[in-house]
């Protein structure tokens, strides 16, 4: 399985616990990420993880560890 698919699956799993309307990001961009049409850049991924952490009361450092490969490659 390509790493891009793994990233998409991880994001999908983390976004299941989130009310997508509560995310303070561009809705079209978020749809393209969820759809798998585009992959976020490192900076975009960090912003998205921050939103996920804020909405789920998850520690941002835990999410950074989970997405370490894509943040620091």
Alpha helices in the chain (DSSP H): 3-15, 27-35, 42-56, 60-66, 68-71
Position 20 scores a pLDDT of: 85
- pLDDT tens string, the chain, 73 residues long: the values are 888 899 999 999 999 988 888 888 999 999 998 888 999 999 999 999 999 999 999 999 999 999 999 998 7
For residues 11 and 48, is the Cβ–Cβ distance under 8 A? yes
- How far is Cα 54 from Cα 5, in angstroms, rounded to an integer? 25
What tokens were used for 38? 């585009």
- How far is Cα 4 from Cα 21, in angstroms, rounded to an integer? 25
């Amino acid at each position: 399985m390509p790493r891009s698919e793994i990233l998409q699956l991880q994001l999908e799993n983390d976004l299941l616990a989130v009310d997508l309307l509560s995310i303070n990001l561009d809705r079209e961009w978020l749809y393209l990420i969820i759809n798998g049409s585009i992959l976020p850049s490192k900076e975009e991924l960090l912003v998205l993880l921050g939103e996920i952490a804020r909405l789920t009361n998850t520690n941002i450092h835990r999410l950074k560890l989970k997405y370490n490969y894509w943040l620091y490659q």
